Amino acid sequence: MPGTDRERRRSTFDEAAELYDRTRPGYPAALFEDLARLAGVGPGCRVLEVGPGTGQATVPLAERGCRIVAVELGEHLAAVARRRLARFPAVQVVTAAFEDWPLPAEPFDLVLAATAFHWIDPAVRVAKAADALRPGGALATIATHHIAGGDLAFFDEAQACYERWDPERPATSAGTPNPRPAARGCRPPPRSLPPVRSSTARAASAPRCSAATSGSGRTPPPATAGCCSPTPATAPSGPPPRPACSTASPP
């Protein structure tokens, strides 16, 4: 994604911060259990969260006793996050672009980006995350991926639904204008939109994350281990449990 396009698009979330907070789904408890097992996340951990939005991952981490500095680009998103996190004195929400934010002298046990890492400048994000970590700290990124038929054919079939629910959206398929067929099984919209439920939203996409360890605060993380499968019936293969977080003073 070109830099100017990325910067423009990532700023649009801030235009509807309250709506974003009401409709953005959260993350399953199993994901945070994996973070605890793979990265030693727990009470007292010093966490740097990049792009927290309104706190979808920040609140669960704060509830687990983490000490968090959350760096959010959007002024309005940050304000909502501060309101949601006001009961956690060990959480600080900073309004800044991660690329420009000066790193504090005290390193972090974990750098986390929950569905946000792709919005950070690729020339900066990994190296700066590594610089923010203590030796042996971890970089964890969480992303969502379409499942159960989320290929191009699925989106072609779903195009009629997009046109019904959002008539201003241009009908396209892989960048090419699409014919406007009869509604292929798409039900007409109700008179009023129902509230978005997190459980329904998560059914369409499954969170996944990766955890990368850094042997030095000045060296980009060299190894990556997958985690957070949608159905964690068995533990995924990966590195052994990480040591407990450092006991440095709060941010």
Rounded-to-10 torsion of CA 87, 60, 44, 69? -70
Q: What tens digit of pLDDT does each residue of 150-206 get?
A: 677 777 777 777 777 766 655 544 444 444 444 344 444 444 444 433 332 232 333
How many other C-beta atoms can be found within 10 angstroms of the C-beta atom of residue 221? 21
Confidence at 41, pLDDT banded by 50, 70, 90: very high
Give dist(CA 24, CA 2) in Å, integer.
25
When computed from its CA atoms, the radius of gyration of the chain, rounded to whole angstroms, is 20
User: What pLDDT digit, counting tens, does each position of 92-133 carry?
Assistant: 999 999 999 999 999 999 999 999 999 899 999 999 999 999
What's the CA gap between 165 and 157, in Å, rounded?
14
> Whole-prediction pTM value?
0.64
Specify the CATH number for 3-146+205-227; select among 3.40.225.10, 3.50.50.60, 3.40.50.150, 3.30.2320.30.
3.40.50.150
| Selected residue with higher pLDDT from 97 and 232 | 97
**Quick one: tokens of 97?**
């672009």
Per DSSP, helices labelled H in 85-169 are: 125-132, 152-165
- For residue 32, the cross-strand partners are none
Cα separation, 90 vs 59, in Å, equals 12
The encoded tokens of residue 54 equal 């309104």
76 to each of 45, 92, 98, 109, 113, how far by Cα in Å?
Answer: 27, 15, 16, 28, 19
Cβ atoms within 10 Å, residue 201 = 14
Contacts of 89 (CB under 8 A, 6+ apart): none
Label residue 148 by pLDDT band (50, 70, 90).
low
On the CB side of 70, CA atoms within 13 Å amount to 33
The fraction of the chain above a pLDDT of 70, given in percent, is 63
| More confident of the two residues 195 and 27 | 27
**Nearest to 23, CA basis, from 62, 53, 68, 59:** 53
Domain definitions of the chain by residue range: 3-146+205-227, 152-198
* Residue 214 · residue 137 · CB < 8 Å: yes
